[in-house]
A and B are shown apart, each in its own frame.
Chain A
Amino acid sequence: MLRKLLVTLVFLVVAGPIFAVQPDEILKDSTLEARAREISKVLRCPVCQGENIDDSNAAVSRDLRLLVRERLLAGDTDSQVIDYVTDRYGEYVLFEPEKTGANLLLWYLGPGALIVALIGGFFYVRSRRNASEGPAAPALSEDEQKRLNELMGE
């Protein structure tokens, strides 16, 4: 009995909410709820280390999740909801960086590098096609010859 009491006590003291989305947050309208979930996945929990608000247990994430649902109920589109949150919490909460300004470098570096690499690869392969079979293996260096003689002598 005492143990059980102790266990309960420990739970009450140390156990924070372990869940991300709580049952009481879920909207009745399942399409709206699905949209809320998708939006929650691109918003970063402002106080956590790299978690989105959908997975996070922090109190602020719960507030943000409720806020997202509130805006959806008010009739906002997905992008309006995301703008609403970023206006208040800054670009930092966006897991999908905007394609503006310097971020263009981030987004287009991959495709750009691929094109450059493919062009480079093309010229390399072409040069190998036209190359003549390279020179024969270089003759042994003095040292190697000495070592070979040593081995042969053994």
Chain B
Amino acid sequence: MINELGHFALILAFAVAIVQAIVPLVGAHKGWRGWMAVGEPAATAQFLLIAVSFAAITYAFVVSDFSVKLVWANSHTDKPMLYKVTGVWGNHEGSMLLWVLILALFGAAAAWFGGALPPRLRARVLSVQAWIGVAFLGFIIFTSNPFLRLAEPPFNGEGMNPLLQDPGLAFHPPFLYLGYVGLSMAFSFAVAALIEGRVDAAWARWVRPWTLAAWIFLTIGIALGSWWAYYELGWGGFWFWDPVENASFMPWLLAAALLHSAIVVEKREALKSWTILLAIMAFGFSLIGTFIVRSGVITSVHSFASDPQRGIFILAILAIFVGGALTMYAFRATSMQAKGVFSMVSRETALVVNNILLAVAALVVFVGTVWPLVAEMFFGRKLSVGAPFFDQAFTPFMVILALILPVGAMMPWKRARLGRVAKPLIPALVLALAMGGLAWSVESGNSMLALIAVFLGSWLVFGAATELWQRAARNFGRLKRLPRADWGKATAHAGLGITFIGIGLLTAGQIEDIRVAKLNEPFTVDGYQITLTKVEEVKGPNYMSSTGTMTVEKDGKLIGTMHPEKRVYPVQRMPTTEAAIHTTPLGDIYLVIGDPQQDGGYAVRTYIKPFADWIWAGAIIMSLGGLLSLSDRRYRVAAGARKTRAVPSNATPAE
């Protein structure tokens, strides 16, 4: 019964979305206030209906209702409760439902907090948002319905891929979707502006927080995924340039570019048409990402069981939305008149270069991802594009970006003098060079990679600190009173530097040891004495495990006792490794246990992974920077404008 209610609510939401897609748009065109006002209640209703539908399917998972086909195919009574709930989006149908739930949430948020928007723009934004909703609700109802029943319910379910039964991965998709779908707001604003034929500072001020929020979610989502790969897949890789990873990375790069170009629109009323284009492309790449994951055109380690039919549906959605938006763009782009005037050396120019680097880097990732497809279709070559290509083709863009970032961030608007900007940065540069040199000499093998990465990373961190110090006019008291946007900017840039350092030092300095470890026979890796003392068979809730006990000592002192596991999930007949990781700020000790060997002992892998956690720490710092910016007074003023309008004396200009 509850299942059918959920199904019904989903179909109702589809109907509401159709109304929301048409009525406010017509209203805005004709100037009918009543029609325009439909958008707000419709957005709320659409969100509530999808929420009911989502709650219904979650309920079916929680109570293990195996008469629902989706639950049967993806759940099992033995599964811990956490994974029963997260199992809702651990499959195609459920994850699409989460996708539209978040889409409707963003639409509703625009309705709730959009009081200060011009009513016509708001009506159009809500309509465009509803068009996306119609497309994806239709996709779910006609090709991927989660509410289908089985005629004869089986006793138990098929279970869920054990690799997905993990806290890191359980929360990775919701964050990614919040990011992907958050970019739909930028898209809706861009299309609304194209219909309107007008882009101004107020528009940019609206688009920025949505893009920033989407970018924060994407950052966290990507970091979670990478962290999961690191500890779960059993050899401590953190990024594989896998098509599915690239699918989330391209929108991230474009969202980062969009964040920066929207600043130029807001402050200087330039780069308008470029910003519109970026907003369209950023969401377009989110759709491409969805297409890549769902269609199976590009095989990948962790795409869902895929289906070409669904792929074609998503491709059609992609073609209609991005194609339609780009066509409108072609007609309207010239009407976006830039106003700001600036010289060759200025913050504006620096941000143009930032955008070029990020956009071309995203293009490189895109071409590398689809190249196997292109080569097969047009040149009859069946080939692969993997990490060695991306490492060579993508990295230079990040190196150039990091080199110019601290200088660009310090530049004043309109007109800058390079000498004056660069001078305060000299101490940061010297310090960064010293850190690079230190990494080069300490790191075994005098690695150039370590030198460059540590230099660039430190340059970003010290550069960000210098910028804050300069902005505060070298005064501690004023440092505290700087706007949060300044702190956010410096924090995010420093976070990028931390990630650079982590990637460089981990890649350059990782030590690996593969051997047969006999019980109680110590071996030495990089100065650590490691002993396998016992291996026990342990039964988990829905798996069986061989759990090793290993002690790690250095200079006779016990560092830790670690328990690497090898698990077998009998329902799926699938083994997984659970690495034991001893984390310190300067690096991880990473132990993996494998099969027993014929002549006694176990295959054991030991890794020393210097500075590994800096990669994700940097990502967290980046998103914290984003949050700081988002909490800046200007945005709160914009969001709360409806309230403050009643008391005009409070509505002081933000800057």
* Complex alpha-carbon distance, A14 and B371, angstroms: 37
Q: Are B568 and A15 in contact (CB under 8 A)?
A: yes
Q: Are A97 and B383 in contact (CB under 8 A)?
A: yes
Residues of B within 8 Å of A10, CB to CB, are 544, 568, 570
Q: How far is the CB of B570 from chain A (nearest CB, A)?
A: 6
Interface string of B530-545 (1 = CB under 8 A from A): 0000000101000010
Minimal Cβ-Cβ distance residue in A for B570: A10
Interface residues of A in 77-131 (CB under 8 A from B): 90-97, 101-103, 106-107, 109-110, 113-114, 117-118, 121, 124-126, 128-129, 131
Interface residues of B in 129-181 (CB under 8 A from A): none
Knowing A14-B575, A92-B383, the reply to whether A110 touches B378 (Cβ < 8 A) is no
Interface string of B98-122 (1 = CB under 8 A from A): 0000000000000000000011100
Residues of B within 8 Å of A102, CB to CB, are 375, 378-379, 381
Residues of A within 8 Å of B363, CB to CB, are 109-110, 113
Knowing A18-B595, A19-B603, A94-B384, the reply to whether A125 touches B378 (Cβ < 8 A) is no
* Complex alpha-carbon distance, A90 and B384, angstroms: 10
* Complex alpha-carbon distance, A48 and B269, angstroms: 50
Q: Are A3 and B539 in contact (CB under 8 A)?
A: yes
B266 contacts the other chain (CB 8 A): no
B234 contacts the other chain (CB 8 A): yes
Q: Are A101 and B342 in contact (CB under 8 A)?
A: no
Knowing A18-B595, A50-B300, A128-B340, the reply to whether A110 touches B539 (Cβ < 8 A) is no
Knowing A97-B371, A97-B383, the reply to whether A125 touches B352 (Cβ < 8 A) is yes
A49 contacts the other chain (CB 8 A): yes
A17 contacts the other chain (CB 8 A): yes
Interface residues of B in 6-32 (CB under 8 A from A): 31
Interface residues of B in 561-590 (CB under 8 A from A): 566, 568, 570, 573-577
Q: Are A128 and B342 in contact (CB under 8 A)?
A: yes
* Complex alpha-carbon distance, A22 and B601, angstroms: 13
Q: Are B393 and A121 in contact (CB under 8 A)?
A: no
B299 contacts the other chain (CB 8 A): yes
Q: Are A132 and B341 in contact (CB under 8 A)?
A: yes
B474 contacts the other chain (CB 8 A): no
Residues of B within 8 Å of A101, CB to CB, are 379, 381
Q: Are A50 and B603 in contact (CB under 8 A)?
A: no
Knowing A3-B539, A114-B356, the reply to whether A19 touches B341 (Cβ < 8 A) is no
Knowing A18-B575, A124-B352, the reply to whether A109 touches B367 (Cβ < 8 A) is yes
Q: Are A23 and B603 in contact (CB under 8 A)?
A: yes
Q: How far is the CB of A92 from chain B (nearest CB, A)?
A: 5
Knowing A3-B539, A91-B383, the reply to whether A49 touches B300 (Cβ < 8 A) is yes
* Complex alpha-carbon distance, A140 and B315, angstroms: 41
Interface string of B194-223 (1 = CB under 8 A from A): 000000100000000000000000000000
Residues of B within 8 Å of A16, CB to CB, are 575
Q: Are B386 and A96 in contact (CB under 8 A)?
A: yes
Interface residues of B in 254-271 (CB under 8 A from A): 269-270
Q: Are A118 and B356 in contact (CB under 8 A)?
A: yes
- Tier of interface size on chain A: 35 or more
Q: Are B342 and A125 in contact (CB under 8 A)?
A: yes
Residues of A within 8 Å of B467, CB to CB, are none
A20 contacts the other chain (CB 8 A): yes
Interface string of A27-48 (1 = CB under 8 A from B): 0000000000000011010001
B337 contacts the other chain (CB 8 A): yes
Q: How far is the CB of B368 from chain A (nearest CB, A)?
A: 7
Q: How far is the CB of A139 from chain B (nearest CB, A)?
A: 13
Interface residues of B in 341-361 (CB under 8 A from A): 341-344, 348-349, 352-353, 356-357, 359-361
A149 contacts the other chain (CB 8 A): no
Residues of A within 8 Å of B242, CB to CB, are 50
Q: Are B383 and A26 in contact (CB under 8 A)?
A: no
Q: How far is the CB of B449 from chain A (nearest CB, A)?
A: 14
Residues of A within 8 Å of B118, CB to CB, are 144
Q: Are A117 and B382 in contact (CB under 8 A)?
A: no
* Complex alpha-carbon distance, A52 and B384, angstroms: 11
Quick one: which of A4, A15, A121, A144 contacts B352, CB cutoff 8 A? A121
* Complex alpha-carbon distance, A113 and B357, angstroms: 10
Q: How far is the CB of B158 from chain A (nearest CB, A)?
A: 15
Q: How far is the CB of A116 from chain B (nearest CB, A)?
A: 9
Knowing A49-B300, A91-B383, the reply to whether A15 touches B367 (Cβ < 8 A) is no
Residues of A within 8 Å of B384, CB to CB, are 44, 50, 91-95, 97
Minimal Cβ-Cβ distance residue in A for B118: A144
Q: Are A95 and B387 in contact (CB under 8 A)?
A: yes
* Complex alpha-carbon distance, A10 and B515, angstroms: 25
Q: Are B339 and A134 in contact (CB under 8 A)?
A: yes
Q: Are B359 and A117 in contact (CB under 8 A)?
A: yes
Q: Are B388 and A95 in contact (CB under 8 A)?
A: yes
Interface string of A48-88 (1 = CB under 8 A from B): 11111001000000000000000000000000000000000
* Complex alpha-carbon distance, A106 and B369, angstroms: 10
* Complex alpha-carbon distance, A93 and B430, angstroms: 45
Q: Are A19 and B386 in contact (CB under 8 A)?
A: no
Q: A7-B537, A50-B299, A121-B353 are in contact. List 16 more A-B contacts (CB 8 A).
A: A3-B539, A13-B573, A14-B574, A18-B594, A50-B301, A96-B392, A102-B379, A102-B381, A106-B385, A109-B364, A121-B352, A125-B352, A128-B341, A128-B348, A133-B341, A137-B200
Across the A-B interface, the 5 shortest Cβ-Cβ residue pairs: A95-B386, A134-B339, A96-B388, A110-B364, A14-B573
**Can you list 10 A-B contacts with CB-CB less than 8 angstroms, sorted by A residue number?**
A3-B539, A13-B573, A18-B234, A50-B300, A50-B301, A92-B384, A103-B383, A106-B368, A121-B353, A125-B344
